Chain A
Amino acid sequence: MGMIIQGATGDWEVVIGLEIHAQITTQSKLFSGSPTTYGAEPNTQVSFVDAAMPGMLPVINEMAVEQAVRTGLGLKAQINKFSIFDRKNYFYADLPQGYQISQFLQPIVGKGEILIDLKDGETREIGITRLHLEQDAGKSLHDQHPSQTFVDLNRSGVALMEIVSEPDMRSPEEAAAYVKKIRSIVRYLGTCDGNMDEGSMRADVNVSVRKAGDEFGTRCEMKNINSVRFMQQAIVYEANRQVDIIEGGGSVKQETRLYDPVKGETRSMRSKEEAHDYRYFPDPDLLPLEFDDAFIEAIRATLPELPDEKKARFIGELGLSPYDASVLVAEKEVADYFEAVAKGRDAKLAANWVIGELFGNLNRTSKNLADSPVSADALGELVDLIADGTISNRIAKEVFEEMFDSGKGAAAIVEEKGLKQVSDTGAIEAAIDAVIAANPDKVAEYRSGKDKLFGFFMGQVMKATQGKANPGVVTEILKPKLDV
């Protein structure tokens, strides 16, 4: 559901559209053969082409094209078999050519849509306007020297896909869910690592406000936000700022603004504003980008099961709740782990253990799944012990903690700690008789009709057997002994 800002003049609706820049997973750059390695020494991942030396020319990377098409298919989008590379002309220190090779009028991917996952498993459809290929720019470092800016071109020419959404989002939560879903899809597809800290995914956020049912208001764009949390903060701040302006009798000016996470506010970026007229025109160093249906179908044939299909299967075939299903499919690694645990076992039970105990302990130790001390097989072994009555659920939690901390196997721990559930009637009967003998008064109360005391006797017996007694067997023997 949408975010509503209660203004002096009434309720305001927030309208959000996103442009996500995702670094395409490739070995080499979009138009040159230099590497894309992150965090390398300055200008070591740079060719004469990336540095825009005189006479240098671009040659397209086939993998970048393939990845863009693969992503387009993942977004259920229209794939354009004919597209054009244009030059976007502007001057900036980290833009060596003086233009960015991008796609303007004819992008490689057109309209599509995705489902975003909201609280308690509900979903909403968000429109994709387009996806196009373009070059990344270099990096300007302003803090290395008092009077100079340093320029590193390692990123210059790296392949990006810009994914543009329709202005379909109505709250920071929806925007966050959208970014998470795009991230999830590109990682399932292997077309982008989705790493926001390393800048391989950045969002330009367009925000405007309007009274319900009105036309769209004037929007402001906040560029290069690389954290979902910051994005949500920026949207809230910006939306309120716009409402204040309008209700104060002013009007919002369309501009690019910068979000400052430290001050928690957005401010105008005049530097980017001044006279930008990008003078797009088809890059004469390149020809139109063309491919046939066979090329598209070959890629379609390699698509993995995507989060939405997986979720549907988990609900339909494994009987999971929509909430559990969406939690489990968000990350492919988690989904794979869960399926390994659930294989040939009770899926609901498996889901509970993955979402409950596993996630709980991972958070507790701030580990991620990749370095979990408990493998899917190990957790499976534990689930089996519960299923066949070897241990009770309560004991199982104990065992899991131990597995998580020591890395030992479930059976081994149960064995060495002697946690096996006792079903031997003789031993249990003895324990029961002892408890009854020790509590004559409680027995009297029970027999005089206080039958909720049954729980007390259960507890005593379990205590006496360090919880190892099979609760079913205890009830069987205890009940007749009390009800004489």
Chain B
Amino acid sequence: MTDLTRLTIAAARDGLNAKDFSARELTAAHITAMEAANPLNAFITKTPEIAVDAATASDARRAGGAAGKLDGIPLAIKDLFCTKGVLTTAASHILDGFTPRYESTVTSKLWADGAVMLGKVNLDEFAMGSSNETSYYGNVVNPWRRTGDNRDLVPGGSSGGSASAVASFSAMGATGTDTGGSIRQPASFAGIVGMKPTYGRCSRWGVVAFASSLDQPGPMARSVRDTAIMLESMAGFDPKDSTSVNMPVPNFEAALTGDIRGLKVGIPKEYRLDTMSDALKKLWDQGIDWMKAAGAEIVEISLPHTKYALPAYYIIAPAEASSNLARYDGVRYGLRVEGKDLSDMYANTRGEGFGTEVKRRLLIGTYALSAGYYDAYYLKAQKVRTRIADDFRAAYEKVDVILTPTAPSAAFAFGEKGDDPLEMYLNDVFTVPASLAGLPGISLPAGLSAEGLPLGLQLLGRPFDEETVFRAAGVLEEAAGFTATPTDWWRG
């Protein structure tokens, strides 16, 4: 029998419907793969028992002719989503032992459609990072390696565990969250597809907050179609989230018509950095040619405030985080480090519970909001954010989607970036602007770097026009015909 873990979600769905195999078999295969992939450290908590029970129930439903959209499909869940009765850590020491008594809206929807949870996957602590090196539970390793070089590479971040689990065929798909690129950049580093929906499309209820005005859950999988199938299940209005938009969820899979004739594709000149590798420049041009060949019209556009997106982001996100993370005080859940009085207990708990990068951002955020600096930092950044959103609004008068690279480079090795945080922040240069504007974006693997590592292209769309993004991405995926996979060295 073929290796079930190599199937796409769409193919597995058809196989299950055709009774070629059962959900139990499909799940068993993935549990084996998940165990074999231990060296990647993608999972913080594995839940094989839950998975087997869910698969058994799924087979019963299918037998009764009541199978849901994702019935029997084994998924990995980023450990930022609260899961009832299952340890939820945000990859932070400060949430030690936290077991929610509630289930996030997005995961509830997935389970309602029959999906199977394999476990909770690793991430940068509180989703703050772009290389998954800040997790209290250790680094996540990218399944990919440079040709002729066996150094471990980062999977990107913050959804690095999700990317690694999907790229290593341990899970058919995974949930991610994207604040400044945390779905798209790791997808690009791991050679998979990652979709960040429009802000407000997926509920944030039950997702540990990093930066409320930017956080958005989304799917990660091995094909554009698979992310479309997953998003249709994850998305939808939630009265428990005041920023959730009350709009019907389209049939995203149906948007994959393969026809983009007449589609206007914008190419922002500000994204052409001289620091980009030739391979990346070539890949981007290649992408442009593919779209042209498929009948799209290419339009040069300008997003003048692009270079200010990163600095604005690194004020706004930490400022919101400094307030969102104030609830981790050792009183109601998680770690408590005693002190001589309450205030001392707070300082000890938070000093020991948060990692270096999180502390750094909480201090920046606290400072940016403090008396005398608010206007110069936070208020200024929010005004710049308005101008960035206006840039996109103007661009979408002329074009339907925007094509750019996802990240300035391919995956890098641990420690390679040195310890200047700024150098790390630059990873998000192409993904942050759309996050600030709340726009939908997708990253898909389109080629390999000189060292044989996957490189992703990004497509950005209008607010709530994920359909056009999927349609264009489907065509790009078809043209790129990316079939490379990492050698499964981790199986030893």
Contacts and interface: CB of A to CB of B under 8 A. Distances in A.
A and B physically associate: yes
Interface of A: 48, 51-60, 87, 89, 91, 93, 96-99, 149, 151, 274, 277, 279-281, 284-287
5 contacts: A89-B322, A96-B332, A280-B369, A281-B319, A286-B242
Given A89-B322, A91-B326, 7 more contacts: A48-B101, A53-B332, A55-B208, A91-B329, A97-B327, A99-B323, A277-B370
B243 interface: yes
A58 B242 CA distance: 7
Given A53-B332, A97-B327, A281-B323, A59 B212 contact: no
A98 B331 CA distance: 11
B88 interface: yes
A56 B241 CA distance: 9
Interface string B35-79: 000000000000000000000000000000000000000000000
Contacts of A54: 82, 88, 90, 95, 98, 100, 208-209, 327, 333
B326 A53 contact: no
Q: Which bucket holds chain B's interface residue count?
A: 35 or more
B202 to A, nearest CB: 13
A412 to B, nearest CB: 60
A52 B342 CA distance: 18
A277 B213 contact: no
B207 interface: yes
Contacts of B332: 51-53, 96
A87 B213 CA distance: 14
Contacts of A59: 239-242
Max count, chain A CB within 10 A of own CB: residue among B88, B205, B325: B205
B378 A281 contact: yes
Contacts of B333: 53-54
A58 B239 CA distance: 10
Max count, chain A CB within 10 A of own CB: residue among B209, B243, B319, B326: B326
Interface in B348-370: 366, 369-370
Contact of B205 (A57, A96, A286): A57
Max count, chain B CB within 10 A of own CB: residue among A87, A97, A279: A279
Contacts of B212: 284-285
Contact of A52 (B205, B327, B369): B327
Given A54-B209, A57-B205, A285 B242 contact: yes
B347 to A, nearest CB: 10
Contacts of B325: 98
Nearest to B367: A279
Nearest to B212: A284
Interface in B220-245: 239-243
Interface in B163-182: none
B331 A151 contact: yes
A247 to B, nearest CB: 33
A160 B204 CA distance: 27
B82 A281 contact: no
B102 A48 contact: yes
A57 B327 contact: no
Mostly, the B contact residues are loop
B150 to A, nearest CB: 38
Nearest to A51: B332
Contacts of A97: 326-327
Interface in B368-397: 369-371, 374, 378
A278 to B, nearest CB: 8
A60 B242 contact: yes
B205 A56 contact: yes
What 3 pairs across the A-B complex have the smallest Cβ distances?
A: A98-B326, A284-B212, A279-B369
A286 B322 CA distance: 17
Given A284-B320, A286-B242, A55 B209 contact: yes
A213 B322 CA distance: 46
Contacts of A52: 327, 332
A57 B240 contact: yes
Nearest to A87: B323
A98 B329 contact: yes
Max count, chain B CB within 10 A of own CB: residue among A54, A60, A277: A54
B82 A55 contact: yes
B206 interface: yes
B257 interface: no
B350 to A, nearest CB: 9
A99 B242 contact: no
Contacts of B370: 277, 279
A99 B100 CA distance: 22
A54 B94 CA distance: 12
A182 B476 CA distance: 67
B204 A57 contact: yes
A279 B367 CA distance: 9
A110 B104 CA distance: 39
A154 to B, nearest CB: 14
Contacts of B189: none
B90 A284 contact: no
Given A91-B326, A97-B327, A284-B213, A279 B366 contact: yes
Nearest to B207: A55
Contacts of A89: 322-323, 326, 369
Nearest to B205: A57
Contacts of B326: 89, 91, 97-99
B44 to A, nearest CB: 15
Nearest to A98: B326
Nearest to B366: A279
A149 B122 CA distance: 36
A170 to B, nearest CB: 32
Contacts of A51: 332
Contacts of B374: 279, 281
Contacts of A287: 242-243
A56 B203 CA distance: 11
Max count, chain B CB within 10 A of own CB: residue among A53, A59, A87, A96: A53
B96 to A, nearest CB: 13
A437 B332 CA distance: 94
B346 interface: yes
B32 interface: no
Contacts of A53: 82, 100, 102, 332-333
Nearest to B372: A277
Contacts of A274: 343
A96 B102 contact: no
B101 to A, nearest CB: 7
B459 interface: no
B211 interface: yes
A93 B207 contact: no
Interface string B191-206: 0000000000000111
Given A54-B90, A54-B327, A60-B242, A281 B209 contact: no
A55 B205 contact: yes
Contacts of A58: 242
Contact of A279 (B82, B242, B323): B323
Contacts of A285: 209, 212, 242-243
A15 to B, nearest CB: 26
Contacts of B95: 54
A277 B323 CA distance: 13
Contacts of A55: 81-82, 100, 104, 204-209
A57 B98 CA distance: 18
B100 to A, nearest CB: 7
A280 B375 CA distance: 11
Interface string B399-422: 000000000000000000000000
Contacts of A279: 322-323, 366, 369-371, 374
Interface in B314-339: 319-320, 322-323, 325-327, 329, 331-333
